[in-house]
Amino acid sequence: MLNESAIIATVNKHEEIQRQDIEDAVKKVTVGLQKTSRVISDKDKKLTAYHEAGHAIVSRYLETSFGVKEISIIPRGVAGGYTMYKTDEDKFYISKTEMEEKLIALLGGRVAEQLALDDISTGASNDLEVATKLARDMIMIYGMSEKIGPISLKVDDVRELEFYGNEIQDEVGKEIKRLIDTAYARAMQILNTNRDKLDAVAERLLEKETISQKEFEEFFV
Amino acid sequence: MLNESAIIATVNKHEEIQRQDIEDAVKKVTVGLQKTSRVISDKDKKLTAYHEAGHAIVSRYLETSFGVKEISIIPRGVAGGYTMYKTDEDKFYISKTEMEEKLIALLGGRVAEQLALDDISTGASNDLEVATKLARDMIMIYGMSEKIGPISLKVDDVRELEFYGNEIQDEVGKEIKRLIDTAYARAMQILNTNRDKLDAVAERLLEKETISQKEFEEFFV
Amino acid sequence: MLNESAIIATVNKHEEIQRQDIEDAVKKVTVGLQKTSRVISDKDKKLTAYHEAGHAIVSRYLETSFGVKEISIIPRGVAGGYTMYKTDEDKFYISKTEMEEKLIALLGGRVAEQLALDDISTGASNDLEVATKLARDMIMIYGMSEKIGPISLKVDDVRELEFYGNEIQDEVGKEIKRLIDTAYARAMQILNTNRDKLDAVAERLLEKETISQKEFEEFFV
Amino acid sequence: MLNESAIIATVNKHEEIQRQDIEDAVKKVTVGLQKTSRVISDKDKKLTAYHEAGHAIVSRYLETSFGVKEISIIPRGVAGGYTMYKTDEDKFYISKTEMEEKLIALLGGRVAEQLALDDISTGASNDLEVATKLARDMIMIYGMSEKIGPISLKVDDVRELEFYGNEIQDEVGKEIKRLIDTAYARAMQILNTNRDKLDAVAERLLEKETISQKEFEEFFV
Amino acid sequence: MLNESAIIATVNKHEEIQRQDIEDAVKKVTVGLQKTSRVISDKDKKLTAYHEAGHAIVSRYLETSFGVKEISIIPRGVAGGYTMYKTDEDKFYISKTEMEEKLIALLGGRVAEQLALDDISTGASNDLEVATKLARDMIMIYGMSEKIGPISLKVDDVRELEFYGNEIQDEVGKEIKRLIDTAYARAMQILNTNRDKLDAVAERLLEKETISQKEFEEFFV
Amino acid sequence: MLNESAIIATVNKHEEIQRQDIEDAVKKVTVGLQKTSRVISDKDKKLTAYHEAGHAIVSRYLETSFGVKEISIIPRGVAGGYTMYKTDEDKFYISKTEMEEKLIALLGGRVAEQLALDDISTGASNDLEVATKLARDMIMIYGMSEKIGPISLKVDDVRELEFYGNEIQDEVGKEIKRLIDTAYARAMQILNTNRDKLDAVAERLLEKETISQKEFEEFFV
C-alpha cells in the first residue's frame, strides 16, 4: 500500500524530509518486518495478489505518478502485501491533479478485488481511510472543491465547524463522496481496459511473491 | 451464540490468534462454566431450544459458514444456551459475502422465536448488538455499502462524524437498517422453508439438551 | 406501585435473584416503612385509592400478569400507596407480550385518576418514568419495534447515537410514544369496561386502607 | 411574588414540610428583610403596585387557590414587592388543574403591567422563569400534555434527550409555549373583566404600601 | 460609547449602585485614561466624530433617554472616542420601551458611519455586541417578544436550551435579528431627518475634540 | 504571502504597534530566515512565481492597498516565497471596503495558479485560512453582512452559538462563502485583464528571485 501518511505529513508540514529518510520510514512503519512463519491461505494470497496488482497497474496509467518500485504479497506487519512507489522529490506543493490521482491509485486495490473476485474484502480498509482523509483535506484545507469554493474549513476542534453552519458540512460530505466515487470509477475504467494485465501481474505475484520495478515495467512494453 | 466478539476483534486487528486460543477463549468468555443448580422453566427451555436451533439451521444453509460444532440449551454464564461454530482458519481478510451471511446467522435465533412461538423475547439482545455493530463496521470501516460508497467513516471520537455532515450519517443509519432487515428476511426464508428441521432440532434439544456436530448433520442427510 | 426497577434490573442482567430476595427488596426499597404519623387529606386518599385500584384491576385482566398480592393506601416512604404483585419465577427471558402488558399495568393508575376524578396528578410520575424507560429498552435494546426493526441501539454514551443518524432517533421517539399511547388506550378500555369494579375496589380501599389478594379476587367471582 | 420555588420543591420531593417551616422560609428566602433606606421612584412604585395587584386579583378568581395572605409594595431583598399566599396543606399530589392555575397566577403580574401601563418591564423575569420551569415539568415529568402524552422525558443529563429524538423536543417546546400563552390569555381575561378592582387595589397599595388578607377581601364583597 | 455593561449589570442584578459609583466606574472601566501621545489620522478622527455624533443625536430624540453629558473624540483606552450619558436614577425595573430605545442609541454610531462616509468600520463592534446581548436578554430573560411570548429561556448552561427544542431557538435568532434591524432602521430615520445636525456636531467635534452637555443642547434650540 | 495574522491582531485588539515592530515581526514570524541549502524544483519555482505575482498584481489594482514593498520566490521558513506589503499607519478602524479588498489580495495567489498553470496547489492553504477567518469576523464580529445585519455573533465558546439558532449559522456559512467567492471573482477579473503583467512579473521573479518595490512599479508605467 501507499506510504500515504508520510506524504500527507509532508503536505501539511512542508518539512524537509530526505528521500532516504522516507524509504527508511516506509520500511519500518508501513511495511513492517517480513513475516515468514505464518501460513497464508490460497484464497487470501489470490486476493492480495489482485489487490496489489490493482494498485500498481492503476498507478502505472496516471500522469503524475512517479512509478512503482516493488510489489509483493509477502505479509509484513498487519498488511497482507504491499506496493512501494518511487517517492516524490523534495517539493513544496502538491497539485489538485496529483491529489485526485492519488485517490485513484488508493482505490485500485478495492476495484481489483471487485473485478477479479466479484466480492470485496476488509483488506481495503486502510486505503479507504487514507483516501477519505485526503479527500477531506482537499476540500476543507486546500479549497479544491469547486462546489465549496476557495474556503478553509480547517479547525482545531471539530466543534468549531458550527461557525460555518450545518448546511456547508452536508455539502462537504457530498463532495468527499463525489471525489471518492469519481476516483473509484476512474480506477475501474483503467482496470477494465487492462484486465489482461491485471490477471498477468496477479498471476506472476502468486508465482514469484515479489515483483521488481523492472519486472513490472516488462508487462507494459 | 456466536463467538462474534473474538471474530470481530480479528477483523479489526488482523492479529494472529491460533485456533486453540479461540476455543479456549470461547469456553471462558462466551459460554462460561456450565450451570446445573438453576431450575429452568419449560417455557424458557422451549424458547432457548428454538433460538439455538434457529442459529444452527440458518448457518447450515449459508455458503461461507464453517459448520456447527455443538448446540446446547444448558445455561452457561448469562446465556440460556449456545451454538458453537467451527472457527475460521488463520486468515487476513473477511469478504462482504461472509459478513452478510454472519448477519443472517446472528438473526436466526430471533427469527426462530417469532416463527415457532409467535412472540419474541429479550433473549436475542446480544445477537442484535453484535449484528448491528457488524453492519455498522461494514458500512463505516469497510466501505461495503453501494449507497454510501468506498469511503471510510472511521473516527476516534464520535464528534469527528461532524466532518462528513448529518445527511451522510442519516444515510448510514438507513443502510445499517437495510442490511439488518435483509439478513432478517433471508433467515426467515431459510427457516420457513425448513420449518420441519427447526421443529425436529428444537425437539431433540429439549430431549437431549446438547447436540454434537455429528448428530446435527444427521438431520440433513 | 410496581416493583419495576427490580424487574427491569432482572431483564437487563439475567442475574439469579431468589423470590425471597425480591420480596425483601420490595419491602425496603419500593414501599418503605409504613408511616402513621402523617395526616392525609380526604382528597389525596381518594386519589390514591383510585390510582392503586386502577393498577390492580388493569393487571387483573392481562394475560401475562402473575396476579395482585396486596393493595394499600397507607403511605410508605414517598409513595401515597402501593400495589404489590406476585413476582415472576426465576426466568431467563421476558417476551414482547409481557413487556407490552407491563406498560398497560403501569399506566392503569393514571388512567383511573382521569376516569374517576376527571383530572390527573403528579402521583403517576414514577409510573411514567418506568414505563418510558421500558418502552425505550423494548425498541433500542431488544429490537421489538417492527418499524425500527431487529436492531440494537444500545450505547455506552448517548453521543454514540450519532452513529445511526438523527432520523432513526426521531423514529425511536415516535415508537416510544406509540407504545405508551397504545398501552394507555388499552388500560382505558379495561377500566371503562369495568368501571363498577374500579369504584368498588377504590371504595373498599377508602374503608379498609389495605386489601389482600383474597379480598381483591372476590370482586371478580 | 409567589413562593414558587418552595412549592415546586414540595412537588418534586414530597417531603414533609410543616406550614410554619414554609412561612419561615418564605420570610427569609423569598421576601427578605424589609428595606427602608432606599428611595423608590413613583414610577417604580406604580409598576410594583399594579404588578402585585395583578397577582393577587388573578389568584382570587382561580378555583384551586388557597387565597391571598398579604400584598405589599415595600421592597424586600431584590424584589420590589410581594404577594404572599396561604400555603397548601400537607399534600401528596398536585393536580393538572392546580398547576394550570398556578401558571395563571404567576403571569398575573406581567399582564397587569401591560394592561395598566401599556408597557412591560424586567420585573416579571422571576415569574416567567418559575412559570416556564413549571410548564416544562408538567409536560416532561408529569406527562400532562395531551399532545406529548403520558410519557416521562425526565433526564439526569440534558444530553439523554437525544434518546427521544429532536422532533419530540420541538413538540415539547411548542407545548410549553402553548401552556404559557393559554395561562397568559386567561390572566388577561380575568384582569380585563375586573379592571376596576385592579385599579382600586393598586391605588390602595400606593396609599398604604401593605394590604392584609382582610383588607383585600373587602374589595370583593 | 455607552457604559452599557454597567447598565446591563444593574438590570440583571438589581443591585444598589449609587450615581457616583457609576460615574467613577465609567471613567475607569469604559473610557479609560485620556491618551495624548498617540497620533490619530484625519480619517480616523472624522469617523470617530461621526460615530459619536450619531450616538448622541439619536439618543437626543428618544423619549426614555436621560440625556447626553459629554461627547469626545479624544481616545481613551481602546476606544477612539466616547459619548457619556446621564445615568438612570436608582430604579428597580427597566421597561421594554427603554430597552428598545437603548438598542436604537447603540446603533446610532454605525448608522452615522454609513450615512456620512458611505462605508462602515470595525469601530462599532462593541456597540453591536452590547446591543445583541441586550436583544437576547429582552427575548430570553424578560419575555418581551410577542412572537416567543412571556416565556423564560434563561439557562445556566447553554445545553439546557435542548429542553425547548431547536425550532424555538431558531425563532429566537430571528427575533433578535428583527429587534436589531428595527432599531437600526429607526436610528437611520432619525439621522436622515437630522442630517444637518449630524454634520454640525461632527464638525464641532473635529474642531473642539470634546463637547459638553450645554454645548450639545445648543444645536437643538 | 501577506502578514495577515499581525494585521488581524491589530484589528481585533487596537493595540499600538509601531511600524518597526511590525516589520521585525514580519521578518521573524512570517517570512522566517532565508533558506539557501534547499533545492527547489523548476515546477515549484514557477508555481511560487505566479502565486506571489498574483498577490502583488491584484493588490496593485485595489484602492485601499498601501502598495507592495518586496516580492520574492526565495523560500523562508515553511513558505515557498512571499509578498511584503507596505503596512498601515497606526489606525483605530478598518473599513468594510478595506477588508473586502484584503480578501481579494489574499486570493490573488490561488487565482494566478489557476490562470497560468490550469491547476491549483496546496500552496494557498494559509491564504485561504486567513481569508476565511477574516470573512467570518466581518460577518460575526463586525456586523458587515447586509443579509445577517448589524448583529454580533461573537462568542467565547462556540456552543454559545446555540443561543441564536441553527438557521442563522447556516446563513452565516453562506455569507462567508459569498464574500470569498466574490473576492475570488474580482481577483480573477483583475488578473485576466492584466495577464501580460502577470506573466512578466512571474518571469522576472524566476530570473531575479526577488523584486523590489521600485522594480515592481516599473511594470505599471
SS (H, E, C) C117-154: HCCCEHHHHHHHHHHHHHHHHHHHCCCCCCCCCCCCCC
The cell for B56 is 444452527
Is the residue at D99 inside a domain? Answer: yes
What does the mean pLDDT of chain C come to?
A: 86
Give the nearest partner residue to B93 out of A47, A132, A176, using CB atoms: A47
- CA separation for the pair C99, B140 (Å, rounded): 33
Report residue E163: phi and psi, to 5°.
Answer: -60, -30
Whether residue F96 and residue E119 make contact (CB cut-off 8 A), yes or no, is yes
Instruction: Report the pLDDT value the prediction gives residue D88, as an integer from 0 to 100.
Output: 66
Nearest CA in chain A to F40: A91
Which grid cell is A199? 490477471
> Does the pLDDT at position A171 exceed 90?
yes
User: What is the predicted pLDDT for the residue at C64?
Assistant: 92
**Where does residue D211 fall: left (phi above 0), alpha (psi -120 to 50 degrees), or beta otherwise?**
beta
* Residue A40 placed within a domain: yes
Residues of A with CB under 8 A from a CB of F: 11, 13-14, 16, 89-97, 141-144, 148-154, 157, 159-160, 162-168
Query: pLDDT 10s per residue in chain D (221 long)?
Result: 233 333 333 333 334 444 444 444 444 444 444 555 567 889 999 999 999 999 999 999 999 988 999 999 998 777 889 999 987 656 789 999 999 999 999 999 999 999 999 999 999 999 999 999 999 999 999 999 999 999 999 999 999 999 999 999 999 999 999 999 999 999 999 999 999 999 999 999 999 999 999 999 999 98
Q: Which residues contact E219 (CB under 8 A, 6 or more apart)?
A: E197, E200, E201
- Catalytic hit among B52, B100, B113, B175: B52
Number of independent structural domains in chain E: 1
Catalytic residue among D52, D101, D113, D175: D52
Would residue C8 count as lying in a domain? no
Contact call for C123 and D165, based on CB within 8 A: no
More confident: A144 or C23 = A144
List of chain C residues whose C-beta atoms are within 8 Å of the C-beta of residue D93: 44, 47, 80, 121-123
Cβ-contact D23, D148 below 8 angstroms: no
d(CA D122, CA E154): 13
Nearest beta carbon to residue F154 from set E129, E171, E173: E129
Per-residue H/E/C for C60-107: HCCCCCCCEEEEECCCECCECCEEEECCCCCCCCCEHHHHHHHHHHHH
Range from A12-21, A200-209, D127-136, E100-109 carrying the lowest mean pLDDT: A12-21
What residue numbers bound the domain in which A206 lies? 31-220
Residue E26 falls inside a structural domain: no
Instruction: Give a yes or no: residue C11 inside a domain.
Output: no
Contacts of F136 in chain A (CB under 8 A): 163-164
C interface with D, Cβ–Cβ below 8 Å: 38-41, 43-44, 47-48, 75, 78, 80, 107, 110, 117, 119-125, 128-129, 131-133, 136, 140, 158-159, 161, 166, 169-174, 176-177, 180-181, 184
Spatial contact of C202 and C46, defined as CB atoms under 8 Å apart: yes
Instruction: Report residue C169 as a C-alpha cell.
Output: 432517533
Q: What local confidence, expressed as pLDDT, does residue C140 receive?
A: 98
The segments of chain F whose pLDDT lies below 70 read 1-38, 88-90
Q: Which residues of A touch F181 (CB under 8 A)?
A: 149-150
Residue B5 lies in a domain: no
Residue A95: what pLDDT? 95
Alpha-carbon span E116 to E205, nearest angstrom: 15
Q: ipTM of the predicted structure?
A: 0.84
pLDDT of chain C, 221 residues: tens digit per residue: 233 333 333 333 334 344 444 444 444 444 444 555 567 889 999 999 999 999 999 999 999 988 999 999 998 777 889 999 987 656 789 999 999 999 999 999 999 999 999 999 999 999 999 999 999 999 999 999 999 999 999 999 999 999 999 999 999 999 999 999 999 999 999 999 999 999 999 999 999 999 999 999 999 98
Name the residue in chain F with its Cα closest to that of A146. Answer: F181
CB pairs under 8 A between E and F: 114
Q: How far apart are CA B19 and CA B21, in angstroms?
A: 5
Query: For residue range A101-126, what is the model confidence (pLDDT) as tens digits?
Result: 999 999 999 999 999 999 999 999 99
> How far, in whole angstroms, is CA D62 from its chain's centroid?
12
- What pLDDT does residue F10 have? 38
Interchain contact, A124 vs B163, CB within 8 Å = no
Q: Is residue A19 part of a domain?
A: no
Round to whole Å and give the CA distance between F147 and A96: 33
Instruction: Specify the pTM.
Output: 0.87
Q: What is the pLDDT of residue C89?
A: 59
CB contact under 8 A, F150 and E122: no
C-alpha distance from C23 to closest chain B C-alpha (Å): 19
Q: What are the DSSP E strand ranges found in F80-185?
A: 82-85
How does pLDDT run along chain B (221 residues), one tens digit per residue? Answer: 233 333 333 333 324 444 444 444 444 444 444 555 567 889 999 999 999 999 999 999 999 988 999 999 998 777 889 999 987 656 789 999 999 999 999 999 999 999 999 999 999 999 999 999 999 999 999 999 999 999 999 999 999 999 999 999 999 999 999 999 999 999 999 999 999 999 999 999 999 999 999 999 999 98
Query: In chain F, which residues have their Cβ closer than 8 Å to the Cβ of E47?
Result: 92-93
Position B80 scores a pLDDT of 86
Domain-located, residue B164: yes
CATH classification of the domain holding D146: 1.20.58.760
